[in-house]
Amino acid sequence: MNGVTIKQVDCRNLKDLCDWNNFVDNNNGSCFNYIQWQRILIESYNAKPVNLMVKEKDHVIGIVSGYFTERNKFFFIKKGISGSGKQFDNYLSNSLINDLGYEEQYSISFSKKTSVILDVINGEEKVWSELRRETRKDIRKGIKNNLSVGKGWHFLDQFYKVYVENMMHNNALIHSKKYFIELSKNLGEKASLFVVLDGSEVISGMIVLYSKSVAEFYIGAWNRKFSKKSPYTFMYWHAITDAINKGIEKIDMGESRLGSGTYKYKVNFGGSPVVNESACIEEKNRELQTNNRFVKLFIINGIKLILSLKFFSKFKYFYLIRSRKNNKIV
């Protein structure tokens, strides 16, 4: 790409931050493209950020950001965006390797993931008309069961308990509470926490992220004891209408495996699948590290199995919180 230069941007520099975020807003980027994500990862997980701004004759035409983990694996955050329709991920990946001197150590791999995108530009009535009948029924069920929706980070402690239990049920890694605190602190009004209340008890919750035109349904959880009241669907609808009232044009419901139950659930809201390609840079010789990772996963899942037994159930919460004590991205 002749005439194109790449500049590394410091996320702590106020001018660079403003220029970067203005470019995101002017080119339909997502909240994940904002440079504040670097601050969140630095404070929460001690990540090593890299922000690249692409210029053509002193005119910004694209940006991409990512981070190195402690295993020297580089992940791009979301997908790079451009103002000229050009695709930069492959070019920037090679440039990052060559220009920063990593060509002997690192290689690039690409993976495809499916997101479900809901177009809400035509308003609430249009979105409601395109919901599946069972989805509308579940939303009404929340009303019938006198559920209510709250919004605000003062619900974080209650939501976090529901979130931990949900992640334990799915055998998934758990973010530390510090991560959510940093997220709310750095993103401000660009991040909201929705919860569903049964009386005064939080039984479901979801974090929604906003850019100028896109809302991202980021992290959600619900108390499975209340599944018959459909709190998650009830909350989803309130988050959708809130985004519409903010002037949002599209909602990214997050990545799901094509054909999975989660994917079908999202499509029932009228969303459509969009395939995204993401890039990752990693060390060429990782055979030993990979084997060690499998051993680690085997041990962790073995401990989780033991903790799932009735006798050990009271230790579950303690174990999972302790497992995130070091706050490291691996």
pLDDT digits (tens, 9 = 90+) for 28-53: 888 888 888 888 988 888 888 878 78
Closest CA to 215 of 89, 64, 28: 28
With bands split at pLDDT 50, 70 and 90, how would you rate the model's confidence at 321? very low
Q: Is the pLDDT of residue 256 over 90?
A: no
Cβ within 8 Å of residue 96, ≥6 positions away? 50, 52, 74, 102, 281
Place of tokens 């001690």: 46
β-bridge pairing 250-255 and 214-222: parallel
For the chain, give the mean pLDDT.
79
The predicted pLDDT at position 290 comes to 43
Q: Is the pLDDT of residue 64 over 50?
A: yes
Beta-carbon neighbour count of residue 121 at 10 Å? Answer: 12
Share of the chain above pLDDT 70, in %: 70
Beta-carbon neighbour count of residue 292 at 10 Å? Answer: 12
For 4-104, which CATH class?
Answer: alpha beta
Q: Is the pLDDT of residue 107 over 70?
A: no
Span 141-168, pLDDT tens digits = 999 999 999 999 999 999 999 999 999 9
Share of the chain above pLDDT 90, in %: 43
The predicted pLDDT at position 142 comes to 95
How far is Cα of residue 301 from the mean position of the Cα atoms in its chain? 24
Span 172-202, pLDDT tens digits = 889 999 999 999 999 999 999 999 999 999 9
Can you give the residue ranges of every domain in the chain?
Answer: 4-104, 115-275, 287-322
For 115-275, which CATH class?
Answer: alpha beta
The predicted pLDDT at position 131 comes to 96
Phi then psi for 117, rounded to 5 degrees?
A: -110, 130
Span 266-316, pLDDT tens digits = 999 999 999 876 666 666 655 444 445 444 444 444 544 444 444 444 444
Beta-carbon neighbour count of residue 271 at 10 Å? Answer: 22
Beta-carbon neighbour count of residue 318 at 10 Å? Answer: 10
Instruction: Fill in the amino acid letter for 127.
Output: V
The predicted pLDDT at position 83 comes to 58
| Equal fold, 4-104 vs 115-275 | yes
Regarding predicted confidence, which is higher, 147 or 107?
147
